[in-house]
């Protein structure tokens, strides 16, 4: 029993996942799904009782899990003894586990409704509990970190492009559309919507000069803003390949 | 005659396609095209008679094809005998063939108009008959399956990104635009439209905080959502190359 | 003089371009630019006289060029003699040259204004004269042809995806928005705007089911529609590399 | 002290950046950030005094920096002596430094408000001072230059595609929407918004022919317009890799 719990809560890199481990993943997903649905007034108002009951159950499960983890942490050499347990408690994964239950425990004590609402949202951090057990997501984060310098470089180029686009359109359109292009920060919103090619259509140039500059910025700029995608894709593919071959 | 039919309906991988085989492909396309046009009221109302006649012809052809396939299935060792025929009938390709004719045969028996309409749409599954004979589409599906684990990983990352974007914008905009950002499921629609860079323009942030968060989500997130495209493209190209070299 | 003209009008692959050859390129660009500006009523009405004069000059130059080409075609062995000239006249490049001047010569004879307008537009085919002398564009077309089977495959996948998207949204939204989703051809316009991620915003789902299906179609489908871009890019880069190394 | 200043203002490629060098980078960012915020009327009106004070401080710093650079330029062999200093003054980096301070010095002398506003914007060129010290941005510009011929080729293909799209939609939609598609230059705005997939939604075809042509143009054209992104991405990644390995 204890060994099974240990294997489930502190899985070794090479072992297969136990039913308990997978079950906990599904419970996390289910609890976040419930929290998401609860924000929708047309659902939460008629079924508030069910949402509250579900949350109580989830809270109990995650609290038990947290205590079990704390008790069993000694299975790892670095977390043995009381000092080891304290060290475990401040490790990133344990903190995420704590954040996943804490808001549910303290929410009742808060006086302000708005604050309660925000604290309740923090419970959604539970989703972060899944990342550590999901190989693909791990590969994704490793890929992002591995291509860090390239990503930073392309993000700087992106920001520069956004800035240049905003300045040009501010010069061209600020008189014609003071509401949308009346300052560089305002033009930045256009710049973002255009260079990411989202193009909501809430703001676009109407003067001939503005359209000319916007066309130039768009044709040259979308290449720059698309850079991170290409870089992450290349590294992600490589890392996942490596993770796969590590298994063999 | 029988050999020609056998070669046409059960083509070997290496043989060239016969005229009958290609003819059937065009008839499938034509029948689906007719079904598509029939949904347009401005066309179906004045020409309903022609559409009905065309469908009767298509139904006859596909019924004959289905019976011929059933009779000739014995050409393949695994489908010989009565038991073999039953085994053939439940194979995916034979089921698609059945689905392509069944709605036309049973539609008249249904009492409800809405049900008839839906059943009629099922006939469009005929297009699936084409996939098995189209090398390029096969390469595409093989590519998707081959990159399965990568695709699954990037889909999970995409869903996580959509979720994070929706939560952030829900926090920032739910007060200002309760109709569009009043709950996380609602904010999800914005999240989807933005991260795929579709940007319909039916929903976008209007507060300063919302615009700031939206910009961050968009710039960082579109890279994640663009991952599957890059992965499929890389694998598709590879698979098509392999299929080509297999021919030689 | 004759040799210079021959080198300019029938440049060998290896030779450098003469001033006359480059000059003609600029005149082509200028003439198309004039034709483009002439379509703008706010420009063509006050300056119609200038546009007509410019067009007369361009027409004279291109007519002279055409005659000179015809006379000098004999410099190429395959176009020698009267029979060779006829063979030259029906070669694609010579036909483009003819199309570039013919509308200007016959436009005056046409009775109908709309017809004149369309015929005048044909003169824009002059831009095609540039392609044969532009190495980069040639590389682009060669790249498209080289990746023909891959492009065809991805175009078929794209069309299939557009079709599937249109059928799904037609089922979900035809009742709520008959104007935009009332038939599959109508839903196709939404499908195109969404899967290319253009997202004009003139048509988008409003029902919950429609939004769910649209999200699925968008997230899975944009990968498919983005395939041709990736394929052309890969081949274009390769071909341009080859063309460059051919020069050395 | 002098050596420290020299190392900071004229850093060698291999040395590590000094605190002064980094400090100047942050001051540049800060000054541009202040200039950006100053354009926003809701901020500049109540806090004009603070903005003016900040600008005076920034101007003093950059003036000192400019003079220090001029004095210390002799540390580089090519800028020694009076003639060397003049040579330094007309070098691109020194000119950018001058442009960064000049508008602040002369703005007070200008009679016209609009002119003052434009001149003030020139101060934002200060951001260009950062490029030379940012390795990633340098890699980006080197990548763009290295892929010059490919980029030029794909830009020509892009312009051709924009032109073809505009002509086709002009023919199809000029009667139905003279305001938006009444001339080729006007249709060009649609063409740009569609082929970059921005899709503002201010202009889209409404006729059946227009929608058909627009779909064709979009599906085939976005591949062409997406080419530069792919080319820059490939070269950027390569150059950054090279720059990194140069360091070792």
Q: Which is more confident, A194 or C101?
A: A194
**Pair D59, D155 in one domain:** no
Query: Quick check: is D17 in a domain?
Result: yes
C173 interaction partners in chain B (CB closer than 8 Å) = none
Residue predicted with more confidence, C42 or C144:
C42
Chain B residues in contact with C215 (beta carbon < 8 A): 188-189, 192
Query: What's the pLDDT score for residue A240?
Result: 63
Q: Does some domain include residue B248? A: no
Residue B247 has pLDDT above 60, yes or no: no
DSSP category for residue B123:
G
Determine the Cα–Cα distance for residues A137 and A157; give it in Å rounded to an integer. 26
**Model pLDDT, residue A104:** 73
A91, A98 Cβ separation under 8 angstroms = no
pLDDT-wise least confident of C53-57, C234-238, D5-9: C234-238
Residues B112 and B180 in one domain: no
Chain D CB contacts of A149 under 8 Å are: 136, 240, 244
Task: Please tell me whether residues A178 and A124 are part of one structural domain.
Answer: no
* D188–A219 CB contact, under 8 Å: no
Domain-located, residue B57: yes
- Chain B environment of C200 (Cβ under 8 Å): 200
Give chain A's residues under pLDDT 50. 248
C219 and C115, same structural domain? no
Closest CA to A225 of A203, A245, A201, A199: A199
Instruction: Return the closest-CA partner of residue C191 out of B141, C208, C172.
Output: C172
Set of chain D residues whose Cβ sits within 8 Å of the Cβ of B200: 201
Which residue, B203, B186, D179, is CA-closest to C40? D179
Q: Read off the tokens for D188.
A: 């060009």
Other C-beta atoms lying within 10 Å of the C-beta of residue D160: 19
Tokens representing B227 are 């991952």
- Confidence class for position D209, pLDDT limits 50, 70, 90: very high
Do D171 and D121 belong together in one domain? no
Are D109 and D90 within 8 A, CB to CB?
no
- Give the model's pLDDT for residue B217: 92
Measured distance CA(D125)–CA(D113) in Å, rounded: 20
Picking from A201, A220, A230, the nearest residue to D201 by CB comes out as: A201
pLDDT band at B142 (very low <50, low <70, confident <90, very high): confident
Of B41, B200, B237, the CB nearest to C234: B237
The confidence band for B245, taking pLDDT boundaries of 50, 70 and 90, is: low
Comparison of pLDDT for B88 and B152, the residue scoring more: B88
pLDDT (mean) for B226-233: 74
Q: Does A127 touch chain B (CB under 8 A)?
A: yes
Mean per-residue pLDDT, D120-124: 76
C141 near A CB under 8 A = no
pLDDT at B117 over 50: yes
Residues A203, A109 within the same domain:
no
Would you say residue A185 lies in a domain? yes
Q: Which residue of D has its CA nearest to B194?
A: D198
Cα separation, B38 vs A224, whole angstroms: 45
Give the CATH number, domain containing residue B40.
1.20.120.350
* The pLDDT value given to residue A69: 86
- Most confident range, picked from A136-145, B230-239, D65-74: D65-74
Instruction: Please check whether residue B200 touches D, CB under 8 A.
Output: yes
DSSP 8-state secondary structure symbol assigned to residue B14: S
Alpha-carbon gap, residue C92 to C104, rounded angstroms = 20
Write down the ipTM of this complex: 0.85
Task: Please tell me the predicted confidence (pLDDT) of residue D136.
Answer: 66
Q: Give whole-number Cα distances, D68 to A229, B162, D74, D75, D76, in Å.
A: 42, 51, 11, 12, 14
> Among A4-13, B192-201, D47-56, which is the least confidently predicted range?
A4-13
One domain for residues B35 and B87: yes
Residue B213 is part of which domain span? Answer: 146-242
Distance of alpha carbon A162 from alpha carbon A159, whole angstroms: 5
A200/C201 touch (CB, cutoff 8 Å), yes or no = yes
Helix axes B184-195, A19-38, angle to 10 degrees: 100
**Poorest-pLDDT segment among B58-62, D135-139, D187-191:** D135-139
User: Residue C79 is encoded by which pair of tokens?
Assistant: 């176009």
Say how far apart CA B167 and CA B185 lie, in whole Å: 9
Query: Which pair of tokens denotes residue C74?
Result: 């004999």
Mean pLDDT of chain C: 82
D152 in any annotated domain: yes
SS3 A183: coil
Q: What is the mean pLDDT of residues D39-57?
A: 88
Interface test with A, best of C43, C193, C199, C230 (most A CBs within 10 A): C199
Contact D230/A at CB under 8 A: yes
SS3 A66: helix
* Ranges A10-19, B84-93, C163-172, D106-115, most confident: C163-172
- Average pLDDT (D141-154) is 76
**Token pair recorded at residue D35:** 């200039």
Q: Are B192 and C218 in contact (CB under 8 A)?
A: yes
CB within 8 A of D76, min separation 6: which ones?
D10, D88
- Do residues B120 and B159 share a domain? no
C105 backbone dihedrals φ, ψ, rounded to 5° = -75, -35
Q: How far apart are CA B114 and CA B109, in angstroms?
A: 13
Residues A200, C197: C-beta atoms closer than 8 Å:
no
3-state secondary structure chain D: CHHHHHHHHCCCCCCCCCHHHHHHHHHHHHHHHHHHHHCCHHHHHHHHHHHHHHHHHHHHHHHHHHHHHHHHHHHCHHHCHHHHHHHHHCCHHHHHHHHHHHHHHHHHHCCCHHHHHHHHHHHHHHHHHHHCCCHHHHHHHHHHHHCHHHHHHHHHHHHHHHHHHHHHHHHHHCCCCHHHHCCHHHHHHHHHHHHCCCCCCCCCCCCHHHHHHHHHHHHHHHHHHCHHHHHHHHHHHHHHHHHHHHHC
With b for 16 or more beta-carbon neighbours within 10 A and e for fewer, the C107-118 pattern comes to: beeeeeeeebee
Q: Quick: pLDDT tens for C211-232.
A: 999 999 998 888 888 777 777 7
- Which residue of C136, C158, C226 is in closest CB contact with D153? C136
Contact assignment for D230 to A230 by CB distance below 8 Å: yes
Q: Rounded distance, CA D21 to CA D32, Å?
A: 17
Question: Looking at residue A248, what is its pLDDT?
Answer: 46
Helices B148-173, A113-122: inter-axial angle, 10-degree rounding:
170
With a CB cutoff of 8 Å and minimum separation 6, the contacts of C234 are B237, C147, D230
pLDDT at B248 > cutoff 50:
no
- Of the partner residues D183, D214, D231, the one whose CB lies closest to the CB of residue C41: D183
D193 is a domain residue? yes
Whether residues A116 and A161 share a domain: the answer is no
Neighbours of chain B (3+ CB pairs under 8 A): A, C, D
Query: Which two three-digit tokens encode residue D81?
Result: 């002596």
Q: Which of B105, B133, B161 is the endpoint of a domain?
A: B133
pLDDT digits (tens, 9 = 90+) for D1-15: 677 777 777 766 555
pLDDT band at B114 (very low <50, low <70, confident <90, very high): low
Supply the pLDDT for residue C238. Answer: 67
**Residues of chain A positioned with their CB less than 8 A from the CB of C227:** none
* Beta carbons of C232 and D219 less than 8 Å apart: no
The CA distance from D218 to C147, in Å, is 19
Neighbors of chain A with 3 or more C-beta pairs under 8 Å: B, C, D
Select from C167, A120, A142 the least CA-distant residue to B184.
A120
Measure CB to CB from residue C197 to each of A197, A200, A201 and give the nearest one: A197
| CA nearest to D141, candidates D230, D234, D239 | D239
Give pairs for B163-169: CB < 8 Å, separation 24+.
B163/A36, B163/A127, B163/B188, B163/B191, B164/B217, B164/B221, B165/B190, B165/B191, B165/B194, B165/B195, B165/B217, B165/B221, B166/B190, B166/B191, B167/A121, B167/A124, B168/B213, B168/B217, B169/B205, B169/B210, B169/B213, B169/B214, B169/B217
The residue-averaged pLDDT of C6-27 equals 75
Pair (C22, C128) in one structural domain: yes
Q: Is residue D248 part of a domain?
A: no
Domain match, C154 and C40 both = no
Q: What is the DSSP letter of B226?
A: T
* Residue where one domain finishes, among candidates A103, A133, A163: A133
Residue A39 to residue C28: CA distance in whole angstroms: 62
Mean pLDDT of D204-220: 93
Task: Tell me the CA end-to-end span of chain B in Å, nearest whole number.
Answer: 29
CA–centroid distance for D30 within its chain: 17
Alpha-carbon distance C91 to B2, whole Å? 48
Q: Is residue D95 over pLDDT 60? A: yes
Give the number of domains in chain A: 2
Chain centroid to Cα D24, Å, comes to 20
Give the whole-angstrom CA distance, residue A132 versus residue A94: 11
Give C23 or B9, the one with higher predicted confidence.
Answer: C23
Q: Give the number of C-alpha atoms closer than 13 A to the C-alpha of residue D219, restricted to the C-beta side.
A: 25
* CB atoms C200 and A201 under 8 Å: yes
Last residue in a domain, options A90, A107, A133:
A133
Per-residue pLDDT, B165: 94
Q: How far is CA B66 from the centre of its chain?
A: 22
User: Domain containing A209 — which CATH number?
Assistant: 1.10.287.70
A103 and A166 part of one domain? no
- Does some domain include residue B19? yes
Largest pairwise CA distance in chain B: 75
Long-range contacts of D206-213 (CB under 8 A, 24+ apart): D206/D173, D206/D176, D206/D177, D207/D172, D207/D173, D207/D176, D209/D172, D210/D169, D210/D172, D210/D173, D210/D176, D210/D181, D211/C189, D213/D168, D213/D169, D213/D172
The residues, ordered by sequence, that sit 6+ positions from A235 with a Cβ below 8 Å of its Cβ are A143, A144, A146, A147
Contact C237 D194 (CB under 8 A): no
Instruction: Check residue B200 and give its pLDDT.
Output: 92
Tokens of C234: 């890969």
Q: What is the four-CA torsion angle of D72, D75, D81, D85, rounded to 10 degrees?
A: -50
Spatial separation of the C-alpha atoms in residues D39 and D59, rounded to whole Å: 18
Q: A196, A201, A233: which to substitute to probe chain C, counting the most C Cβ within 10 Å?
A: A201
Q: Do A149 and D232 make contact, defined as CB atoms within 8 angstroms?
A: no
- For residue C132, the model assigns a pLDDT of 66
User: What confidence score (pLDDT) does residue D244 get?
Assistant: 62
The minimal CB distance from A183 to the residues D41, D136, D226 is found for D41
Nearest CA among B73, B89, B92 for reference residue B81:
B73
Mean pLDDT of chain D: 82
């Amino acid at each position: 029993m204890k060994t099974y719990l240990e294997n489930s809560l502190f899985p070794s890199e090479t072992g297969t996942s136990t039913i308990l481990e997978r079950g906990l993943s599904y419970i996390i997903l289910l609890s976040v799904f419930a929290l998401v649905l609860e924000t929708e007034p047309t659902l939460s108002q008629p079924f508030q009782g069910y949402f509250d009951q579900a949350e109580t159950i989830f809270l109990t499960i995650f609290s038990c899990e947290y205590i079990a983890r704390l008790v069993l942490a000694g299975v790892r050499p670095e977390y043995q003894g009381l000092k080891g347990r304290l060290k475990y408690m401040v490790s990133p994964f344990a903190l995420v586990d704590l954040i996943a239950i804490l808001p549910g425990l303290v929410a009742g004590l808060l006086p302000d409704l708005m604050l309660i609402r925000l604290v309740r949202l923090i419970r959604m951090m539970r989703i972060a509990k899944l990342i550590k057990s999901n190989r693909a997501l791990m590969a994704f984060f490793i890929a992002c970190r591995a291509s860090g310098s390239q990503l930073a470089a392309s993000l700087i180029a992106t920001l520069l492009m956004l800035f240049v686009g905003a300045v040009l359109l501010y010069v061209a359109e600020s008189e014609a559309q003071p509401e949308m292009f009346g300052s560089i920060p305002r033009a930045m919103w256009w710049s973002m919507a255009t260079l990411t090619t989202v193009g909501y259509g809430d703001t676009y140039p109407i003067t001939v000069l503005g359209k000319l500059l916007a066309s130039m910025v768009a044709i040259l700029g979308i290449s720059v803003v698309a850079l991170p995608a290409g870089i992450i894709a290349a590294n992600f593919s490589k890392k996942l390949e490596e993770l796969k071959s590590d298994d063999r």
